[in-house]
Amino acid sequence: MSFIADRLSAIKPSPTIAVTNKAAELKAAGRDVIGLGAGEPDFDTPDNIKAAAKAAIDKGLTKYGPPAGTVDLRKAISAKFKRENGLDYTPDQITVGVGGKGVIFNAFMATINPGDEVIVPAPYWVSYPDIALMFGGQPVFVTCPEDKGFKLQAADLEKAITPKTKWLVLNSPSNPTGAAYTESELRALCDVLLKHPHVYIMSDDMYEHLVYDGFKFTTPAQIEPKLYDRTLTMNGVSKAYAMTGWRVGYAAGPLPIIKAINMIQSQSVTHTSSISQAAAVEALNGTQDFIPKNAEVFKARRDLVVKLLNECKGVTCLKPEGAFYVYPSCAGVIGKSWNGKKIETDSQFVEYLLEAEGVAVVQGAAFGLSPYFRISYATSTEALTKACARIKKFCEELK
């Protein structure tokens, strides 16, 4: 009998973190590797935010605070929701966690009983199903094919709902596809949800600020006020403010859920770092000037990567609305061979690509839709150009 708890038997380490680590290991061993696996901006945290953290240390903001997050930060989040999303949340309807991931973890721990179903549109961010599984939840995957822009369709949502459904997880813009839902696409999903009052919505808005070509971001609680009482609107500073390592995420929603999450925090991590929270206050209240500037840089990279990938034999790539990922199909290389080895899956494709050309990407299998792979374009134009040239060469040399 293993000493490790049974609840871990259904889960695995994050595959995206695994690819990042593998690329780092190969690099350390002297290989010329371009890592396109990491889901974090390559920009540094803006100076005003760093200065706020330094000031917090000097002011002695280094003590325990409320498990829900500091009052200052929850006020800043409340103001953010009003300003950017037209949503009214008081500070007591808001909780701050150890990154967005910490918030989702707590929300599932607070609400999932064994056997409860969580609808997860696929392809999905790798942590939703595993966190649900950890608490005995049952992920119900709904495939969102490429010809529907990798977006959940109302009819498919309707079919997936059962009396056991607890949550629908919606992530727009999406990790791993970059797909973002327009107002009318969300409207169609909200109409289905209105018919099923037992289903709660977890809206993961982490990539809200990374949308391109004038795309207008919206979120379910804003679109359908009748869903406000059963929507957990989740967001964070990690991606928009280049603050992945600071570990600050937050959510606003029904008081019973927020209180339950705060209780969990009071008995687990207590809260995320007081210094990180002070930095997040500055991120939300301070200048937002660099957000559109960074978005311009990401947009140019997206356009470049989509163009270059579509020049690779056997690869096709949609141009997504947001985030910093593309999710190209590698259907055209399945069945071909590299070095005498047949490529039967996207996992083999990415494995051989790393071996042959030193380009690290993540297999679609990790996100629940194959045969695809995910590229994070949160890296320099130079690295992206070089990586795409290597992918092109690899594809051309396949037999």
Ligand X SMILES: Cc1ncc(COP(=O)(O)O)c(C=O)c1O
Interacting residues toward ligand X by CB under 6 A: 39, 99-101, 125, 171, 175, 204, 206, 236, 238, 244, 249
What three-state secondary structure class fits 35?
A: strand
The tokens for 11 are 């889960």
User: Can you tell me the distance from the alpha carbon of 323 to that of 307, in angstroms, rounded to the nearest whole number?
Assistant: 17
- CA-nearest of 151, 148, 96, 103 to 127 is 103
Shortest Å distance, C-beta 335 to ligand X: 32
236 or 358: CB nearest ligand X: 236
Q: Helices (H), strands (E): how many in the chain? A: 13, 14
93 or 238: CB nearest ligand X: 238
DSSP lists the bridge partners of residue 342 as 337
Sorted by sequence, the CB contacts under 8 Å of residue 243 that are 6+ apart come out as 45, 49, 237, 276, 279, 280, 283
Shortest Å distance, C-beta 256 to ligand X: 23
DSSP lists the bridge partners of residue 239 as none
CA distances from 339 to 281, 343, 353 (A): 53, 10, 11
Shortest Å distance, C-beta 92 to ligand X: 22
19 or 312: CB nearest ligand X: 19
Indicate the residue whose CB is closest to ligand X: 99
70 or 244: CB nearest ligand X: 244
The tokens for 73 are 């930060």
Helices (H), 182-323: 183-194, 220-223, 255-266, 274-285, 290-309
Shortest Å distance, C-beta 100 to ligand X: 3
237 or 258: CB nearest ligand X: 237
Shortest Å distance, C-beta 6 to ligand X: 26
21 or 345: CB nearest ligand X: 21
Shortest Å distance, C-beta 97 to ligand X: 8
Q: What is the 8-class DSSP label of residue 39?
A: -
140 or 234: CB nearest ligand X: 234
Shortest Å distance, C-beta 204 to ligand X: 5
